[in-house]
A and B are shown apart, each in its own frame.
Chain A
Amino acid sequence: MEPRELMLSIRAWQRTLNDHLKANRFRIPIHLAFGYEGLAVAMDDVTSKACPVVLHHRNIAYQLAFQKCPRAVAAEFLGESDGLAGGRLGSMNLASGKIFYTTSILGNGLPVACGLALSRGTTVFVVFGDGAIEEGAFYESLLFARSHGLRVVFVQENNDRSMASTIAERRCPVDWAMISHAVGVPHFSSDATLDGCRRALAAAAEAHGPAFVEVRLPAFNNHAGATPGWPTDPLDLDFTPEGFLRPVEADPLHDAWRDALDECQAAWQKLQAVTREELL
Protein backbone atom coordinates (compact mmCIF):
# COMPACT_ATOMS: atom_id res chain seq x y z
CA MET A 1 0.00 0.00 0.00
CA GLU A 2 1.30 3.44 -0.90
CA PRO A 3 2.26 5.47 2.21
CA ARG A 4 -0.38 8.16 1.84
CA GLU A 5 -3.02 5.51 1.13
CA LEU A 6 -1.94 3.76 4.30
CA MET A 7 -2.27 7.05 6.20
CA LEU A 8 -5.78 7.47 4.87
CA SER A 9 -6.65 3.89 5.78
CA ILE A 10 -5.38 4.39 9.33
CA ARG A 11 -7.63 7.45 9.64
CA ALA A 12 -10.60 5.49 8.29
CA TRP A 13 -9.93 2.43 10.46
CA GLN A 14 -9.70 4.62 13.52
CA ARG A 15 -12.92 6.32 12.62
CA THR A 16 -14.67 2.95 12.45
CA LEU A 17 -13.11 1.88 15.75
CA ASN A 18 -14.44 5.12 17.17
CA ASP A 19 -17.93 3.99 16.15
CA HIS A 20 -17.40 0.80 18.14
CA LEU A 21 -16.15 2.85 21.04
CA LYS A 22 -19.23 5.07 20.97
CA ALA A 23 -21.38 1.95 20.94
CA ASN A 24 -19.55 0.68 24.06
CA ARG A 25 -18.44 -2.47 22.33
CA PHE A 26 -15.05 -2.50 24.04
CA ARG A 27 -14.57 -3.25 27.71
CA ILE A 28 -11.05 -1.87 27.67
CA PRO A 29 -9.86 1.70 27.19
CA ILE A 30 -8.89 2.59 23.62
CA HIS A 31 -6.71 5.62 22.92
CA LEU A 32 -7.29 6.91 19.41
CA ALA A 33 -4.58 8.83 17.63
CA PHE A 34 -6.04 11.08 14.95
CA GLY A 35 -3.15 13.13 13.61
CA TYR A 36 -0.49 10.46 14.27
CA GLU A 37 -0.83 8.79 10.87
CA GLY A 38 2.27 10.39 9.32
CA LEU A 39 4.54 9.44 12.22
CA ALA A 40 3.18 5.89 12.32
CA VAL A 41 3.73 5.30 8.61
CA ALA A 42 7.19 6.90 8.77
CA MET A 43 8.05 4.61 11.67
CA ASP A 44 6.92 1.62 9.65
CA ASP A 45 9.19 2.75 6.81
CA VAL A 46 12.25 3.40 8.92
CA THR A 47 12.07 0.31 11.11
CA SER A 48 12.25 -3.25 9.94
CA LYS A 49 11.88 -6.71 11.45
CA ALA A 50 15.35 -6.37 12.91
CA CYS A 51 14.60 -2.96 14.38
CA PRO A 52 12.30 -3.34 17.35
CA VAL A 53 9.94 -0.67 18.59
CA VAL A 54 8.82 0.00 22.17
CA LEU A 55 5.49 1.80 22.43
CA HIS A 56 3.12 3.25 24.98
CA HIS A 57 -0.61 3.12 25.58
CA ARG A 58 -1.57 5.34 22.60
CA ASN A 59 -0.21 2.84 20.08
CA ILE A 60 -3.16 2.29 17.78
CA ALA A 61 -1.80 4.18 14.77
CA TYR A 62 1.40 2.10 14.90
CA GLN A 63 -0.51 -1.16 15.22
CA LEU A 64 -2.56 -0.30 12.15
CA ALA A 65 0.44 0.97 10.20
CA PHE A 66 2.60 -2.06 10.98
CA GLN A 67 0.00 -4.80 10.71
CA LYS A 68 -2.28 -3.27 8.08
CA CYS A 69 -4.98 -5.56 9.40
CA PRO A 70 -7.66 -3.63 11.28
CA ARG A 71 -9.72 -6.75 11.92
CA ALA A 72 -6.88 -8.35 13.94
CA VAL A 73 -6.49 -5.15 15.98
CA ALA A 74 -10.23 -4.88 16.62
CA ALA A 75 -10.41 -8.56 17.55
CA GLU A 76 -7.66 -8.03 20.10
CA PHE A 77 -9.58 -5.12 21.59
CA LEU A 78 -12.61 -7.38 21.85
CA GLY A 79 -10.54 -10.05 23.62
CA GLU A 80 -11.05 -12.54 20.83
CA SER A 81 -8.68 -15.43 20.16
CA ASP A 82 -7.97 -14.27 16.60
CA GLY A 83 -6.72 -10.92 17.88
CA LEU A 84 -3.12 -9.87 17.31
CA ALA A 85 -2.08 -11.34 20.66
CA GLY A 86 -4.87 -13.85 21.08
CA GLY A 87 -6.94 -11.33 23.01
CA ARG A 88 -4.53 -11.45 25.96
CA LEU A 89 -2.89 -8.03 25.79
CA GLY A 90 -5.74 -5.64 25.02
CA SER A 91 -4.98 -2.15 23.75
CA MET A 92 -2.54 -0.52 26.15
CA ASN A 93 -0.08 -3.45 26.22
CA LEU A 94 -0.49 -4.75 22.69
CA ALA A 95 2.79 -5.99 21.26
CA SER A 96 3.37 -8.21 18.27
CA GLY A 97 5.75 -8.44 15.33
CA LYS A 98 8.40 -5.74 15.54
CA ILE A 99 6.58 -4.11 18.45
CA PHE A 100 8.70 -5.64 21.21
CA TYR A 101 6.99 -4.11 24.21
CA THR A 102 4.12 -1.76 24.93
CA THR A 103 3.45 -0.17 28.30
CA SER A 104 0.60 1.63 29.96
CA ILE A 105 2.88 3.03 32.68
CA LEU A 106 4.32 6.45 31.84
CA GLY A 107 8.06 6.21 31.24
CA ASN A 108 8.16 2.47 31.92
CA GLY A 109 9.21 1.55 28.37
CA LEU A 110 12.34 3.71 28.36
CA PRO A 111 14.50 1.48 30.59
CA VAL A 112 13.17 -1.62 28.86
CA ALA A 113 14.29 -0.16 25.51
CA CYS A 114 17.75 0.42 27.00
CA GLY A 115 17.91 -3.21 28.10
CA LEU A 116 16.81 -4.36 24.67
CA ALA A 117 19.51 -2.25 22.99
CA LEU A 118 22.04 -3.61 25.50
CA SER A 119 21.01 -7.16 24.66
CA ARG A 120 20.91 -6.81 20.87
CA GLY A 121 23.42 -4.09 20.12
CA THR A 122 21.13 -2.82 17.37
CA THR A 123 18.92 0.25 17.02
CA VAL A 124 15.78 0.32 19.15
CA PHE A 125 13.03 2.93 18.79
CA VAL A 126 11.16 3.90 21.93
CA VAL A 127 8.09 6.11 21.66
CA PHE A 128 6.63 8.12 24.54
CA GLY A 129 4.55 11.22 25.10
CA ASP A 130 5.28 14.65 26.45
CA GLY A 131 3.79 13.46 29.74
CA ALA A 132 6.18 10.51 30.12
CA ILE A 133 9.09 12.85 29.68
CA GLU A 134 8.26 14.29 33.09
CA GLU A 135 9.04 10.95 34.73
CA GLY A 136 12.50 10.35 36.19
CA ALA A 137 12.88 7.29 34.00
CA PHE A 138 13.35 9.55 30.98
CA TYR A 139 16.42 11.31 32.34
CA GLU A 140 17.83 8.09 33.77
CA SER A 141 17.42 6.25 30.49
CA LEU A 142 18.87 9.06 28.39
CA LEU A 143 21.94 9.07 30.63
CA PHE A 144 22.16 5.29 30.68
CA ALA A 145 21.93 5.03 26.89
CA ARG A 146 24.51 7.76 26.38
CA SER A 147 26.90 6.36 29.00
CA HIS A 148 26.88 2.91 27.44
CA GLY A 149 26.63 3.95 23.79
CA LEU A 150 23.27 2.25 23.29
CA ARG A 151 21.51 2.77 19.98
CA VAL A 152 18.23 3.93 21.41
CA VAL A 153 16.18 6.42 19.39
CA PHE A 154 14.00 8.33 21.86
CA VAL A 155 10.90 9.51 20.00
CA GLN A 156 8.84 12.06 21.84
CA GLU A 157 5.28 12.57 20.63
CA ASN A 158 4.65 16.10 21.74
CA ASN A 159 0.90 16.60 21.50
CA ASP A 160 0.82 19.15 24.31
CA ARG A 161 -1.54 16.96 26.32
CA SER A 162 -1.40 14.77 29.38
CA MET A 163 -5.02 13.70 29.59
CA ALA A 164 -6.81 17.05 29.75
CA SER A 165 -3.87 19.20 30.85
CA THR A 166 -1.73 21.12 28.42
CA ILE A 167 1.99 21.54 29.02
CA ALA A 168 1.46 25.16 30.07
CA GLU A 169 -1.12 24.03 32.59
CA ARG A 170 1.08 21.46 34.29
CA ARG A 171 4.75 22.37 34.05
CA CYS A 172 7.40 24.81 32.92
CA PRO A 173 8.48 24.70 29.28
CA VAL A 174 11.56 22.64 28.47
CA ASP A 175 14.04 23.07 25.64
CA TRP A 176 14.62 19.44 24.66
CA ALA A 177 17.33 20.36 22.19
CA MET A 178 19.33 21.85 25.04
CA ILE A 179 18.68 18.86 27.28
CA SER A 180 19.87 16.52 24.52
CA HIS A 181 22.87 18.68 23.79
CA ALA A 182 23.79 18.76 27.48
CA VAL A 183 24.17 14.98 27.60
CA GLY A 184 25.75 14.71 24.16
CA VAL A 185 22.79 13.16 22.38
CA PRO A 186 21.90 14.44 18.88
CA HIS A 187 18.50 16.11 18.67
CA PHE A 188 16.11 16.07 15.73
CA SER A 189 12.70 17.59 15.40
CA SER A 190 9.79 17.32 13.05
CA ASP A 191 6.20 18.26 12.55
CA ALA A 192 3.57 15.53 12.09
CA THR A 193 3.98 15.20 8.33
CA LEU A 194 5.08 11.94 6.76
CA ASP A 195 8.11 13.49 5.06
CA GLY A 196 9.21 15.38 8.13
CA CYS A 197 8.94 12.31 10.37
CA ARG A 198 10.72 10.12 7.84
CA ARG A 199 13.67 12.51 7.65
CA ALA A 200 13.99 12.91 11.41
CA LEU A 201 13.66 9.20 12.22
CA ALA A 202 16.07 8.16 9.47
CA ALA A 203 18.66 10.70 10.59
CA ALA A 204 18.32 9.56 14.20
CA ALA A 205 18.75 5.93 13.21
CA GLU A 206 22.02 6.87 11.55
CA ALA A 207 23.42 8.35 14.76
CA HIS A 208 24.87 4.94 15.80
CA GLY A 209 24.22 5.86 19.39
CA PRO A 210 21.34 7.37 21.31
CA ALA A 211 19.34 10.08 19.54
CA PHE A 212 16.36 12.19 20.47
CA VAL A 213 13.52 12.95 18.06
CA GLU A 214 10.90 15.48 19.02
CA VAL A 215 7.73 15.27 16.93
CA ARG A 216 5.13 17.99 17.33
CA LEU A 217 1.82 16.25 16.81
CA PRO A 218 -1.73 17.46 16.75
CA ALA A 219 -4.08 15.41 18.92
CA PHE A 220 -7.30 15.85 17.02
CA ASN A 221 -10.71 15.62 18.63
CA ASN A 222 -11.17 14.04 22.03
CA HIS A 223 -7.84 13.09 23.60
CA ALA A 224 -9.25 10.09 25.45
CA GLY A 225 -12.31 8.00 24.71
CA ALA A 226 -14.64 8.35 21.76
CA THR A 227 -15.30 11.47 19.77
CA PRO A 228 -17.54 13.40 20.13
CA GLY A 229 -16.76 12.97 23.78
CA TRP A 230 -16.09 15.35 26.61
CA PRO A 231 -17.71 18.79 26.50
CA THR A 232 -14.20 20.06 25.81
CA ASP A 233 -13.82 17.91 22.66
CA PRO A 234 -12.49 20.41 20.08
CA LEU A 235 -13.99 18.39 17.20
CA ASP A 236 -11.13 19.43 14.90
CA LEU A 237 -11.92 16.72 12.37
CA ASP A 238 -15.18 16.35 10.55
CA PHE A 239 -15.55 12.83 9.21
CA THR A 240 -18.43 13.47 6.82
CA PRO A 241 -17.61 13.29 3.09
CA GLU A 242 -18.30 17.00 2.78
CA GLY A 243 -16.37 18.05 5.84
CA PHE A 244 -13.46 15.71 5.29
CA LEU A 245 -11.64 17.97 2.86
CA ARG A 246 -11.93 21.04 5.01
CA PRO A 247 -8.29 21.93 5.73
CA VAL A 248 -7.28 21.48 9.34
CA GLU A 249 -4.09 23.07 10.54
CA ALA A 250 -1.20 20.62 11.00
CA ASP A 251 -3.15 17.64 9.67
CA PRO A 252 -0.52 15.29 8.17
CA LEU A 253 -3.15 13.63 6.03
CA HIS A 254 -4.04 16.86 4.33
CA ASP A 255 -0.36 17.56 3.76
CA ALA A 256 0.22 14.15 2.18
CA TRP A 257 -2.76 14.48 -0.20
CA ARG A 258 -2.53 18.19 -0.91
CA ASP A 259 -1.96 17.65 -4.65
CA ALA A 260 -4.78 15.13 -5.10
CA LEU A 261 -7.66 16.15 -2.89
CA ASP A 262 -10.41 14.84 -5.18
CA GLU A 263 -8.72 11.47 -5.34
CA CYS A 264 -8.38 11.53 -1.58
CA GLN A 265 -12.07 12.23 -1.07
CA ALA A 266 -13.06 9.39 -3.38
CA ALA A 267 -10.72 7.00 -1.59
CA TRP A 268 -12.10 8.12 1.77
CA GLN A 269 -15.67 7.37 0.74
CA LYS A 270 -14.65 3.96 -0.56
CA LEU A 271 -12.77 3.18 2.63
CA GLN A 272 -15.78 3.98 4.77
CA ALA A 273 -17.71 1.10 3.28
CA VAL A 274 -14.80 -1.32 3.33
CA THR A 275 -13.75 -0.68 6.90
CA ARG A 276 -17.29 -0.90 8.22
CA GLU A 277 -17.64 -4.26 6.51
CA GLU A 278 -14.30 -5.44 7.83
CA LEU A 279 -14.80 -4.42 11.41
CA LEU A 280 -18.49 -4.45 12.18
Chain B
Amino acid sequence: MTLLECYRHHFFPRMEGAITFGENIDKASCISGLGKNLSGSRNVGNCELTHIGAGFGVMMDGGHAVLIAKQLDFMLLGLDHMVNTLSFARSAGKLTGSFSIVTYLCNQGYQGPQSSLVDLSGFCSLGGFPGYLLQEENQIADLARTALGAPGFRIFVLPQRIANEPVLSLPITAVGPGWRMYGQGQKIDVVSCHATLAEAVSRSRGFVLHCDCHPDFEHPPFKLADKVTFLDDGCGTLRWADFIHRKLRACDPFVVRPRNHAVNPDSFP
Protein backbone atom coordinates (compact mmCIF):
# COMPACT_ATOMS: atom_id res chain seq x y z
CA MET B 1 0.00 0.00 0.00
CA THR B 2 1.30 3.45 -0.87
CA LEU B 3 1.25 6.38 1.51
CA LEU B 4 -1.57 7.93 -0.53
CA GLU B 5 -3.65 4.74 -0.43
CA CYS B 6 -2.98 4.41 3.27
CA TYR B 7 -4.28 7.95 3.86
CA ARG B 8 -7.45 7.19 1.90
CA HIS B 9 -7.93 3.86 3.67
CA HIS B 10 -7.83 5.36 7.14
CA PHE B 11 -9.14 8.89 6.57
CA PHE B 12 -12.12 8.43 4.24
CA PRO B 13 -14.29 6.34 6.58
CA ARG B 14 -13.77 9.01 9.21
CA MET B 15 -14.89 11.76 6.84
CA GLU B 16 -18.41 10.33 6.51
CA GLY B 17 -20.93 12.89 7.74
CA ALA B 18 -18.50 15.77 7.36
CA ILE B 19 -18.80 18.53 4.74
CA THR B 20 -15.95 17.61 2.40
CA PHE B 21 -15.00 19.95 -0.40
CA GLY B 22 -12.21 20.94 -2.74
CA GLU B 23 -11.39 22.18 -6.23
CA ASN B 24 -11.85 19.30 -8.72
CA ILE B 25 -12.22 16.97 -5.78
CA ASP B 26 -14.14 14.45 -7.88
CA LYS B 27 -12.75 15.26 -11.34
CA ALA B 28 -9.74 14.13 -13.37
CA SER B 29 -6.96 13.20 -10.92
CA CYS B 30 -9.21 14.10 -7.97
CA ILE B 31 -6.54 16.44 -6.58
CA SER B 32 -3.66 14.05 -7.28
CA GLY B 33 -5.58 11.27 -5.60
CA LEU B 34 -6.40 13.07 -2.34
CA GLY B 35 -10.11 12.99 -3.13
CA LYS B 36 -10.30 9.83 -5.24
CA ASN B 37 -13.39 7.70 -4.46
CA LEU B 38 -14.45 9.97 -1.63
CA SER B 39 -18.24 9.87 -1.60
CA GLY B 40 -20.42 12.89 -0.91
CA SER B 41 -17.78 15.49 -1.61
CA ARG B 42 -18.53 18.94 -3.03
CA ASN B 43 -16.65 20.31 -6.04
CA VAL B 44 -16.01 24.03 -5.47
CA GLY B 45 -14.59 26.98 -7.40
CA ASN B 46 -11.16 28.52 -7.17
CA CYS B 47 -11.43 30.62 -4.05
CA GLU B 48 -9.19 29.30 -1.27
CA LEU B 49 -9.76 32.26 1.03
CA THR B 50 -13.48 31.55 1.03
CA HIS B 51 -12.98 27.79 1.36
CA ILE B 52 -10.94 28.24 4.50
CA GLY B 53 -13.26 30.88 5.98
CA ALA B 54 -16.25 28.65 5.23
CA GLY B 55 -14.53 25.73 6.93
CA PHE B 56 -14.20 27.83 10.04
CA GLY B 57 -17.87 28.83 9.75
CA VAL B 58 -18.86 25.16 9.78
CA MET B 59 -16.52 24.42 12.67
CA MET B 60 -17.81 27.29 14.80
CA ASP B 61 -21.35 26.08 14.16
CA GLY B 62 -20.45 22.70 15.64
CA GLY B 63 -20.23 20.88 12.30
CA HIS B 64 -17.35 18.99 10.70
CA ALA B 65 -15.60 20.26 7.58
CA VAL B 66 -12.71 18.84 5.56
CA LEU B 67 -11.08 20.88 2.81
CA ILE B 68 -8.89 18.95 0.40
CA ALA B 69 -6.44 21.10 -1.55
CA LYS B 70 -3.62 20.54 -3.97
CA GLN B 71 -0.69 22.03 -2.12
CA LEU B 72 0.28 23.90 1.00
CA ASP B 73 1.35 27.01 -0.94
CA PHE B 74 -2.28 27.65 -1.96
CA MET B 75 -3.35 27.73 1.67
CA LEU B 76 -1.46 31.00 2.11
CA LEU B 77 -4.53 32.69 0.63
CA GLY B 78 -6.53 31.77 3.71
CA LEU B 79 -3.93 32.50 6.36
CA ASP B 80 -6.08 35.34 7.75
CA HIS B 81 -8.65 32.79 8.89
CA MET B 82 -6.07 30.37 10.25
CA VAL B 83 -4.82 33.14 12.52
CA ASN B 84 -7.61 35.65 13.15
CA THR B 85 -10.79 33.61 12.77
CA LEU B 86 -9.26 30.76 14.75
CA SER B 87 -8.26 33.19 17.47
CA PHE B 88 -11.84 34.43 17.69
CA ALA B 89 -13.14 30.87 17.85
CA ARG B 90 -10.83 30.12 20.76
CA SER B 91 -11.77 33.28 22.66
CA ALA B 92 -15.49 32.88 22.06
CA GLY B 93 -15.53 29.18 23.02
CA LYS B 94 -16.53 28.15 19.50
CA LEU B 95 -14.12 25.26 18.96
CA THR B 96 -17.11 22.99 19.09
CA GLY B 97 -16.91 21.40 15.66
CA SER B 98 -13.91 20.44 13.58
CA PHE B 99 -12.17 21.75 10.52
CA SER B 100 -9.33 19.91 8.83
CA ILE B 101 -7.32 20.70 5.74
CA VAL B 102 -5.66 17.87 3.83
CA THR B 103 -3.05 18.87 1.30
CA TYR B 104 0.32 18.08 -0.23
CA LEU B 105 3.75 19.36 0.64
CA CYS B 106 5.53 19.91 -2.68
CA ASN B 107 8.85 18.39 -1.65
CA GLN B 108 9.27 16.12 -4.67
CA GLY B 109 11.67 18.46 -6.37
CA TYR B 110 11.94 22.01 -7.51
CA GLN B 111 8.67 23.07 -9.16
CA GLY B 112 9.43 26.75 -9.46
CA PRO B 113 9.63 29.68 -7.11
CA GLN B 114 5.94 29.60 -6.29
CA SER B 115 5.91 26.01 -5.04
CA SER B 116 8.62 26.44 -2.47
CA LEU B 117 6.69 26.50 0.76
CA VAL B 118 8.17 23.24 1.98
CA ASP B 119 7.47 24.10 5.57
CA LEU B 120 4.40 23.27 7.61
CA SER B 121 5.72 24.51 10.92
CA GLY B 122 5.68 28.18 9.86
CA PHE B 123 1.94 27.95 9.23
CA CYS B 124 1.30 26.21 12.49
CA SER B 125 3.33 28.59 14.61
CA LEU B 126 1.51 31.66 13.24
CA GLY B 127 -1.92 30.42 14.31
CA GLY B 128 -0.84 28.11 17.12
CA PHE B 129 -2.62 25.09 15.65
CA PRO B 130 -1.41 21.54 15.06
CA GLY B 131 -0.02 20.29 11.76
CA TYR B 132 0.75 16.70 10.91
CA LEU B 133 2.98 15.32 8.18
CA LEU B 134 1.57 11.93 7.26
CA GLN B 135 4.46 9.49 6.85
CA GLU B 136 3.73 6.18 8.47
CA GLU B 137 0.83 3.73 8.57
CA ASN B 138 0.25 3.54 12.32
CA GLN B 139 0.64 7.29 12.64
CA ILE B 140 -1.99 7.80 9.94
CA ALA B 141 -4.39 5.36 11.57
CA ASP B 142 -3.89 7.03 14.92
CA LEU B 143 -4.42 10.54 13.53
CA ALA B 144 -7.54 9.48 11.63
CA ARG B 145 -8.96 8.15 14.87
CA THR B 146 -7.86 10.88 17.28
CA ALA B 147 -7.28 14.11 15.35
CA LEU B 148 -9.37 14.23 12.17
CA GLY B 149 -12.78 14.89 13.75
CA ALA B 150 -11.53 16.33 17.03
CA PRO B 151 -12.81 19.79 18.02
CA GLY B 152 -10.74 22.59 16.52
CA PHE B 153 -8.56 23.10 13.47
CA ARG B 154 -5.52 21.33 12.05
CA ILE B 155 -3.70 20.65 8.79
CA PHE B 156 -2.72 17.21 7.51
CA VAL B 157 0.00 17.20 4.90
CA LEU B 158 1.25 14.41 2.67
CA PRO B 159 4.84 14.80 1.46
CA GLN B 160 4.33 14.46 -2.27
CA ARG B 161 7.83 13.02 -2.78
CA ILE B 162 6.82 9.80 -1.05
CA ALA B 163 3.05 9.83 -1.66
CA ASN B 164 3.18 7.01 -4.19
CA GLU B 165 5.92 5.06 -2.44
CA PRO B 166 5.16 2.04 -0.25
CA VAL B 167 4.09 3.38 3.11
CA LEU B 168 6.42 3.01 6.05
CA SER B 169 4.89 0.83 8.74
CA LEU B 170 6.44 0.94 12.18
CA PRO B 171 5.19 0.00 15.61
CA ILE B 172 4.63 3.05 17.78
CA THR B 173 6.30 2.64 21.16
CA ALA B 174 4.49 5.50 22.88
CA VAL B 175 2.34 8.52 22.06
CA GLY B 176 2.13 11.84 23.87
CA PRO B 177 1.07 15.45 23.30
CA GLY B 178 2.61 16.39 19.97
CA TRP B 179 4.89 13.36 19.61
CA ARG B 180 5.18 9.69 18.77
CA MET B 181 8.00 7.41 19.80
CA TYR B 182 9.41 4.72 17.54
CA GLY B 183 12.12 2.06 17.98
CA GLN B 184 13.53 0.42 21.04
CA GLY B 185 16.39 0.89 23.40
CA GLN B 186 17.09 2.98 26.45
CA LYS B 187 17.19 6.56 25.27
CA ILE B 188 16.11 8.97 22.54
CA ASP B 189 18.98 9.48 20.12
CA VAL B 190 17.18 11.04 17.13
CA VAL B 191 14.51 13.74 17.13
CA SER B 192 12.54 13.83 13.89
CA CYS B 193 10.68 16.94 12.78
CA HIS B 194 8.75 17.62 9.60
CA ALA B 195 9.15 14.97 6.84
CA THR B 196 12.23 13.20 8.22
CA LEU B 197 10.75 10.15 9.90
CA ALA B 198 12.19 7.57 7.48
CA GLU B 199 15.67 9.02 7.73
CA ALA B 200 15.40 9.29 11.50
CA VAL B 201 14.51 5.63 11.82
CA SER B 202 17.41 4.61 9.61
CA ARG B 203 19.86 6.60 11.78
CA SER B 204 18.61 5.66 15.22
CA ARG B 205 20.01 2.96 17.47
CA GLY B 206 17.55 3.79 20.24
CA PHE B 207 14.31 5.70 20.25
CA VAL B 208 13.18 8.10 17.58
CA LEU B 209 11.09 10.97 18.88
CA HIS B 210 8.90 12.14 16.00
CA CYS B 211 7.39 15.54 16.70
CA ASP B 212 4.26 16.90 15.05
CA CYS B 213 4.05 20.65 14.49
CA HIS B 214 1.97 20.86 17.62
CA PRO B 215 1.97 23.88 19.93
CA ASP B 216 1.07 21.70 22.92
CA PHE B 217 4.20 19.55 22.70
CA GLU B 218 5.24 18.14 26.04
CA HIS B 219 8.49 16.46 26.99
CA PRO B 220 8.11 12.68 26.70
CA PRO B 221 8.88 10.59 29.77
CA PHE B 222 12.03 9.08 28.22
CA LYS B 223 15.70 9.82 28.76
CA LEU B 224 17.81 11.46 26.11
CA ALA B 225 21.07 10.00 24.83
CA ASP B 226 24.32 11.90 25.41
CA LYS B 227 24.23 13.00 21.82
CA VAL B 228 20.91 13.65 20.15
CA THR B 229 20.55 14.24 16.42
CA PHE B 230 17.82 16.64 15.34
CA LEU B 231 16.43 16.23 11.82
CA ASP B 232 14.20 18.83 10.22
CA ASP B 233 13.68 19.33 6.49
CA GLY B 234 11.38 22.33 6.80
CA CYS B 235 12.67 25.17 4.66
CA GLY B 236 11.65 28.07 6.88
CA THR B 237 14.17 30.22 8.66
CA LEU B 238 12.62 29.25 11.98
CA ARG B 239 12.80 25.49 12.49
CA TRP B 240 10.39 23.36 14.45
CA ALA B 241 13.45 21.45 15.64
CA ASP B 242 14.63 24.59 17.42
CA PHE B 243 11.32 24.84 19.23
CA ILE B 244 11.53 21.18 20.25
CA HIS B 245 15.14 21.63 21.28
CA ARG B 246 14.19 24.50 23.57
CA LYS B 247 11.41 22.41 25.09
CA LEU B 248 13.71 19.45 25.70
CA ARG B 249 16.56 21.58 26.98
CA ALA B 250 14.24 23.11 29.53
CA CYS B 251 13.91 19.67 31.07
CA ASP B 252 17.27 18.08 30.30
CA PRO B 253 20.55 20.01 30.51
CA PHE B 254 22.44 17.47 28.37
CA VAL B 255 20.70 18.23 25.10
CA VAL B 256 23.10 19.94 22.74
CA ARG B 257 21.92 22.68 20.44
CA PRO B 258 21.16 21.38 16.93
CA ARG B 259 23.61 22.66 14.37
CA ASN B 260 23.38 20.49 11.30
CA HIS B 261 19.89 20.18 9.98
CA ALA B 262 19.34 17.47 7.43
CA VAL B 263 17.95 19.32 4.45
CA ASN B 264 16.32 17.49 1.62
CA PRO B 265 18.44 18.58 -1.37
CA ASP B 266 15.49 18.19 -3.72
CA SER B 267 13.16 20.37 -1.79
CA PHE B 268 14.78 23.72 -2.23
CA PRO B 269 16.99 25.19 -4.93
Q: Are B92 and A118 in contact (CB under 8 A)?
A: no
B60 and A100 form a contact (CB under 8 A): yes
12 contacts between A and B (CB under 8 A): A88-B91, A89-B92, A93-B88, A102-B88, A103-B85, A110-B50, A111-B54, A112-B85, A114-B57, A137-B50, A137-B53, A141-B50
B61 CB contacts on chain A under 8 angstroms: 100, 115-116, 119-120
Q: Does A136 contact B (CB under 8 A)?
A: yes
Q: Is the CB of A136 within 8 A of B60?
A: no
The answer to whether A114 touches B53, judged by C-beta atoms less than 8 angstroms apart, is yes
Provide the main secondary structure of the chain B interface.
helix
Q: Give per-residue flags for B49-64: 1 if the beta carbon is below 8 A from chain A beta carbons, else 0.
A: 1111111111111110
- Tell me which of B42, B58, B80, B88 contacts A115 (CB under 8 A): B58
Give the docked Cα–Cα distance between A118 and B51 (Å).
11
Does chain A have a CB within 8 A of B47?
A: yes
Describe A's contact surface by its main secondary structure.
helix
Verify if B101 is at the interface (C-beta below 8 Å from A).
Answer: no
**B42 surroundings in chain A (CB, below 8 A):** 148
* Closest Cβ–Cβ distance, residue B63 to chain A (whole Å): 4
Using a CB–CB cutoff of 8 Å, the interface residues on chain A facing chain B are 85, 88-89, 93, 95, 100-105, 108, 110-120, 136-137, 140-141, 143-144, 147-148
The answer to whether B63 touches A143 (Cβ under 8 A) is no
Known: A136-B49, A137-B49, A144-B44. A112 touches B54 (CB 8 A): yes
A111 to B50, CA, bound (A): 5
Q: Which residue of A lies closest to B97 (CB)?
A: A119
Which range holds the interface residue count of chain B?
20 to 34
CB of B81 within 8 A of CB of A108, answer yes
* Least distance between A65 CB and chain B CB atoms (Å): 20
Please, which residue of chain B has its CB at the minimum distance from the CB of A124? B57
Check B53–A85 contact: CB distance below 8 A. no
Q: Are B91 and A119 in contact (CB under 8 A)?
A: no
Q: Which residue of B lies closest to A138 (CB)?
A: B50
Give A123 Cβ to nearest chain B Cβ, in Å: 14
Asked, given contacts A93-B88, A103-B84, A103-B85, whether A112 binds B57 with beta carbons under 8 Å apart, the answer is: yes
Chain B residues near A105: list those with CB within 8 A. Answer: 80, 84
Mask for B90-114, Cβ within 8 A of A = 1, else 0?
0110100100000000000000000
* Cα-based distance from A4 to B92 in the complex (angstroms): 32
- Could you say which residues of chain B place their CB within 8 Å of the CB of A118? 19, 54, 57-58
Complex Cα–Cα for A115 and B53 (A): 7
CA distance A108 to B61 in the complex (A): 16
B180 to chain A, nearest CB (A): 32
Q: Quick check: B19 and A111 within 8 Å, CB to CB? A: no
Instruction: Kindly identify which residue among B57, B92, B94 contacts A111, using a CB–CB cutoff of 8 Å.
Output: B57
**Bound-complex Cα distance A115 to B57 (A):** 4
Point out the residue from A85, A93, A136, A144 that lies within 8 Å of B54, measured CB to CB. A144
The 7 closest A-B pairs by CB, nearest first: A115-B57, A111-B53, A115-B54, A140-B47, A111-B50, A140-B50, A112-B57
| Central interface residue in B44, B55, B80, by most chain A CB within 10 Å | B80
Report chain B residues within 8 Å CB of A93.
Answer: 88, 91-92
Q: Does B45 contact A (CB under 8 A)?
A: yes
Known contacts A110-B50, A112-B56, A119-B57, A101 near B65 by CB under 8 Å: no
CA distance A41 to B243 in the complex (A): 51
What 1/0 mask marks residues of chain B from 183 to 225 whose CB sits below 8 Å from any chain A CB?
Answer: 0000000000000000000000000000000000000000000
Residues A116 and B47 in contact, CB atoms below 8 Å apart = no
B57 touching A85, Cβ below 8 Å = no
Residues 133-177 of B at the A interface (beta carbon under 8 Å): none
10 extra A-B contacts, CB within 8 A, seeds A88-B92, A111-B57, A119-B65: A88-B91, A89-B92, A101-B92, A112-B53, A112-B56, A113-B57, A119-B62, A120-B61, A140-B49, A141-B53
Q: Give bound CA distance, A120 to B88, whole Å.
A: 20
Tell me, rounded to whole Å, the shortest Cβ–Cβ distance linking B71 to chain A: 19
Residues of B within 8 A of A101 (CB): 57, 60, 88, 92, 94
In the complex the two chains form, is A110's CB within 8 Å of B53's CB?
yes
- Which B residues lie within 8 Å of A104 (CB)? 84
Chain B residue contacts of A144, Cβ below 8 A: 44-45, 47, 50, 54
